[in-house]
Structure 1
Amino acid sequence: MTRTPETPLPSLKERRRLREAQSLSQADVAAAVGVTRATVRSWENGRTTPRGSTRDAYARLLTGAEEVTPHQENPAPALVGAATGPVQTSPDRADPTPEPPSETPPASELAPTPEPALGPDPALGPQPEPGPDAELEPLSPSLTPDQAFDALYAFCAPALVRQTYLLTGRRELARESVERAFQLAWHRWPEVAMDRDPAGWVRATAYEFALSPWHRLRPRHRNPEPPPAAPADRALLDVLLQLPPVYRRTLLLYDGVGLNLPETAAETEASTPAAANRLLHAREAVATRLPELAEPKELHRRLAEVASAERLRPAKPTTVRWGGEQRARHWTRAAIAFTVVLIGATTLTLRTAPDHYEPPLAPGATVHGVPPRVAPGPLSAEELALRAKLKGEMASGPERLVPEAD
């Protein structure tokens, strides 16, 4: 059976140019195609690709085959996602779209949006938007670095702390991992700000720090932390912590966070088949211990419940930025001090080291068969008297023996 070829799409830059040429915003395109604004944003930056009928509608809209009336973006979108209902996804997670909520009250009557347990996260691609305050807009050139960093932190940090808690089972380590990741992001902010997926960059850094094996050597990590209060939550967390770290991370990214399989494979630095095998083995291990979580949807719901049951609040963005700057200053001063010590040691070595080659002295050895050299010693009294007598006499006198030739 042959597959129907997919509708061709313009390049990434061309998609945005065609949309702007028709004076359409991302919200206009999302309303016309029937997806969320985050989905359209992920299509334009190449993080995901539309499929099926959504792809056809998107292609027709870009080419101008369908007319869309621009409108003002709704300042108070409906509460969807974790606040209203489950997310319906295709098998490959290419274009998950939320179930349409029931009648939504006016913006003035909306209650505060409850914070999702494992999201939102702009790295998830097409995820439902939780509300106007939590939506992460593209970084505007008018924003200062501090404002852009604070916006990224406010959007990603709460969900990322809960994800890291499911990954490690330790509350303090989860907070520390997220803070370290954002401090490193602030230290490398020009690189992170220009990254195609800054939230994914921070998430990968936090996961790497949280799963570092060096934490075993820290004294405070040798004692276990109090488990969750609910027995069901405690059982699920125990099963997760018994999985190998790479399996646990794959399961959390796919069934917890909502990444598709290629994105999960890329973030775990594995091939897509390897990530699929890890996911299947992790699901099988969870289903063996907890048969009621054999369904992926039920597993996703339970992961969100376990994460939301813990009151994990990250630090303020200003505190994180200040801590990162303090850490950078500390390491800078340490590097300068080490350099000064190294230069001093090198100078001392150059001043005290010999400047020419001195051959080593050979050890003495006894030589047999050769008579020792006899050096003239002091004269005795008789010898001194004889020498004085000889000097006092005439050289040709009869008393002096003179050798004669034969």
Structure 2
Amino acid sequence: MTQTSATPLPPPEERRRLREAASLTQAQVAAQVGASRETVRAWENGRTTPRGHRKEAYAQLLSSLAAQTAAQEAVGEAEVTWRQQSTRPLTPAQAFDALYAFCAPALVRQTYLLTGRRELARESVERAFQFAWQRWPEVARDRDPAGWVRATAYDFALSPWHRFRPRYRHPEPPPADASDRALLDVLLKLPPPQRRALLLYDGVGLDLPETAAESEASTPATARRLLHARAAVADRLPALSDPTELHRRLAELASAERLRAAKPPTVRDSSERRARFWTRAAIAFTVTLIGTTALTLRTAPTRYEPPVPPGQTVLGVPPKVAPGPLSEREVELRRKLREETASGPVRLVPETR
């Protein structure tokens, strides 16, 4: 009691400030200390000073308000400091590393449920982040960068061309637990669109429109895929007919595998090496094309040479007439010419020079 009565009262201006900082009215303060509203107003104006048990109650109330205000101010200062630090511009590499650290570990486990292959899951996530780093301005401005990377990783993981790669021709060892093996076997027997919809909705926790948008399908089509996938899982594993239980088992199955993603600098370096390779390949192809064009221009003819037209039939020429019997006049003329060739007129004899 002695300690409480010795609690000093702050100045009148401070009393009012503490009350307003706590969003209390004068009537509310008066009800707590057992006084009237006019009395509290007089205390805050400095016209009067509380005495006795009212002073004790008023001092305790102001002390608690001061502690509460100090705590709120400390939290506010910490929040302001955090906001200032968080609003500092990050370099592209720092922003990419933050996104990778936040998404990559969980995304590798999700992709494993999608494919049933550990190495393919890691490769798909790394390739997705490599594409993201190559197109970082576009990804950084996206409303959902994590969704952009997840959609890219799922597309790469579900590509049908992986079946022709030698490293993925044989299945990988299944999970050690029997229940995990059964659930993974059911998932892998689902068609890829149904498997993807089930994983996004019941595994990741997206709502139906977000699942449809990420699957690039309409909302009704996505809902049908989800219902068919749930029915197939419930038919094989009746204990997972409850969506809540299915969500829990998917999370357990994904967490059971020790899948590690590569470090962010490694992914960025791989992306840059890949970009340099394709850039050099494009330059080499362009140089080859230019050289081929130059060689063609160098060896091509310099003037136009019309092609030789094919032979055509000449019209209007009378056909040859086969020799027939001579008439009497023609016979007489032939005889006369034969006789006069040597002994006839001079003009019919050939001259020798």
TM-score surpassing 0.5? yes
- Give the structure with higher Rg (CA): 2
Question: In terms of mean alpha carbon deviation, does 311-320 or 272-281 score higher?
Answer: 272-281
- Distance in 1 of aligned mates of 2:307 and 2:121: 63
- Distance in 2 of aligned mates of 1:139 and 1:291: 47
C-alpha contact 1:169 1:237 (8 A) present in aligned 2: yes
- Distance in 2 of aligned mates of 1:277 and 1:363: 68
**SS of structure 1 residue aligned to 2:75:** coil
- Distance in 2 of aligned mates of 1:224 and 1:352: 56
1:193 maps to 140
Using the TM superposition, give the Cα deviation of residue 302 of structure 1 relative to its aligned residue in structure 2, in angstroms. 0.7
2:238 maps to 291
Q: Aligned to 2:177, which of 211, 230, 241?
A: 230
Using the TM superposition, give the Cα deviation of residue 73 of structure 1 relative to its aligned residue in structure 2, in angstroms. 8.1
Q: Tell me, yes or no, if structure 1 residue 145 matches structure 2 residue 148.
A: no
Using the TM superposition, give the Cα deviation of residue 176 of structure 1 relative to its aligned residue in structure 2, in angstroms. 0.4
In the superposition, relative to structure 1, how do residues 73 and 256 fare at CA in structure 2: closer, same or farther (>3 Å)?
A: farther
In the superposition, relative to structure 1, how do residues 270 and 334 fare at CA in structure 2: closer, same or farther (>3 Å)?
A: same
In the superposition, relative to structure 1, how do residues 370 and 319 fare at CA in structure 2: closer, same or farther (>3 Å)?
A: farther
Q: Unaligned regions of 5+ residues in structure 2, if any? A: 1-71, 79-84, 322-345, 349-353
**SS of structure 2 residue aligned to 1:357:** coil
With structure 1 as the length reference, what TM-score do the two structures score?
0.57
Using the TM superposition, give the Cα deviation of residue 157 of structure 1 relative to its aligned residue in structure 2, in angstroms. 0.1
Q: Percent identity, aligned pairs only?
A: 75
**SS of structure 1 residue aligned to 2:244:** helix
Size of the aligned set, in residue pairs, is 246
AA at the equivalent of 1:72: V
**SS of structure 1 residue aligned to 2:305:** coil
* CA RMSD after TM alignment: 2.7
1:256 maps to 203
In the superposition, relative to structure 1, how do residues 275 and 70 fare at CA in structure 2: closer, same or farther (>3 Å)?
A: farther
C-alpha contact 1:139 1:148 (8 A) present in aligned 2: no
Q: Tell me, yes or no, if structure 1 residue 216 matches structure 2 residue 163.
A: yes
Q: Aligned to 2:226, which of 267, 271, 279?
A: 279
Q: Tell me, yes or no, if structure 1 residue 72 matches structure 2 residue 86.
A: no
C-alpha contact 1:160 1:178 (8 A) present in aligned 2: yes
- Distance in 2 of aligned mates of 1:140 and 1:370: 106
**SS of structure 2 residue aligned to 1:314:** coil
Q: Deviations over 1:298-339 (max 9, x none)?
A: 101111111111110000000000000000000000000001
- Distance in 2 of aligned mates of 1:263 and 1:355: 64
Q: Aligned to 1:328, which of 267, 275, 286?
A: 275
C-alpha contact 1:168 1:210 (8 A) present in aligned 2: yes
Q: Unaligned regions of 5+ residues in structure 1, if any? A: 1-68, 76-137, 372-400
Q: How does 1:365-376 map to 2 (within 5 A)?
A: none
In the superposition, relative to structure 1, how do residues 365 and 168 fare at CA in structure 2: closer, same or farther (>3 Å)?
A: same
Q: How does 1:4-15 map to 2 (within 5 A)?
A: none
**SS of structure 2 residue aligned to 1:342:** helix
Q: How does 1:6-405 map to 2 (within 5 A)?
A: 72=75, 140-362=87-309
Using the TM superposition, give the Cα deviation of residue 237 of structure 1 relative to its aligned residue in structure 2, in angstroms. 0.4
